[in-house]
Every structure is written in structure tokens, then in C-alpha cells.
């Protein structure tokens, strides 16, 4: 008896799910829905206060970046294979945690934070140099 009671309670839910599926199919096949531009938040800024970056560090970072291969994939102002340095600066506040995390990412490479393109690894870049490079990038706010 108990079992039949359960089935009776569940039965109307099938009806609802069917309606839902039909509604979804209708929405997907509606051409108007496709033409609405989807606004994707590419930057996804993390809020937080900014520490100051000594000018000498930023300048050294700029030189280290110029001497490395970074500019083959990054531009300062616009997206290339990798995100624009200015977009990276817009996302991360100038704080030690982010500088450390990004420096590690420059060394190990990876993907997924900005899209499906992969940053090559830079195992020969010392961690201190990577931090200086990242400091320069984050100074471009």
C-alpha cells in the first residue's frame, strides 16, 4: 500500500518534467533567442585593495618580460593568444597572494583561467623574476 502511495505522489512530477523539457526545446529552437548577444564577463575582476608597487620593480619587470617570450602571446592592450596584460591587471588586486600565485602560474604554465588557450611553462624563470614580471603586469592598472 505504502509503495503505491509513493508512485501516486510521484506520478504528476513526470508530467511537469515533460512540460519543462518541451519548454526548453521550444526556447532552444526559437531563432530570436540565438540572436541575443551573450555578454560574457571576460575580466571577472576580484575586488580588493591594491598595495603599491615600487617603480624600480615595475621597470625591472618590464625589461625581464621584454627579454623573455611573453610578448609572443601577450599584448599590453589587447587580447592575443593570451589575455591582454591590462586585462590581467584589471582582474587581480595588487596583493602578495595574487603575485605569488600568478608567478607560480608563469613558471608552470596552464589554462582555464581565461579560456582554453594554454600558456607554455617557463621552468627556467626564477620565481623571484616571475614575481617581478607579474608586479609589472599588475602595475598596468
H or E segment to which residue 19 belongs? helix 2-29
As a whole number of angstroms, the distance between CA 12 and CA 18 comes to 10
One character per residue 54-73, x = contact with ligand HEC (rule: CB under 6 A): -----------x--xxx-xx
Closest approach, Cβ 80 to ligand HEC, in A, equals: 8
Taking 3-state DSSP, the helix, strand and coil percentages for the chain, each rounded to the nearest 5, stand at: 55, 0, 40
Task: Rule CB under 6 A: say whether 53 interacts with ligand HEC.
Answer: no
Count, residues near ligand HEC per rule CB under 6 A: 29
Q: What is the dihedral of CA 66, 72, 76, 79, to 10 degrees?
A: -170
Using the rule CB under 6 A, which residue among 62, 135, 137, 139 binds ligand HEC?
137
Closest approach, Cβ 4 to ligand HEC, in A, equals: 54
φ and ψ at residue 20, rounded to 5 degrees:
-60, -45
Residues that bind ligand HEC (CB under 6 A): 65, 68-70, 72-74, 81-83, 88, 102, 105-106, 110-115, 117-120, 122, 125, 133-134, 137
Amino acid at each position: 500500500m505504502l509503495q503505491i502511495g509513493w508512485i501516486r505522489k510521484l506520478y504528476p512530477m513526470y508530467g511537469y518534467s515533460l512540460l519543462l523539457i518541451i519548454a526548453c526545446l521550444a526556447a532552444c529552437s526559437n531563432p530570436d533567442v540565438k540572436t541575443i548577444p551573450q555578454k560574457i564577463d571576460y575580466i571577472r575582476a576580484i575586488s580588493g585593495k591594491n598595495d603599491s608597487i615600487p617603480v624600480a620593480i615595475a621597470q625591472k619587470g618590464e625589461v625581464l618580460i621584454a627579454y623573455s617570450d611573453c610578448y609572443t602571446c601577450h599584448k599590453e592592450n589587447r587580447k592575443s593568444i593570451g589575455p591582454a596584460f591590462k586585462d590581467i591587471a584589471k582582474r587581480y588586486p595588487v596583493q602578495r597572494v595574487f603575485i605569488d600565485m600568478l608567478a607560480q602560474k608563469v613558471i608552470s604554465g596552464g589554462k582555464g583561467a581565461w579560456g582554453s588557450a594554454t600558456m607554455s611553462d617557463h621552468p627556467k624563470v626564477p620565481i623571484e623574476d616571475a614575481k617581478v614580471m607579474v608586479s609589472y603586469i599588475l602595475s598596468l592598472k
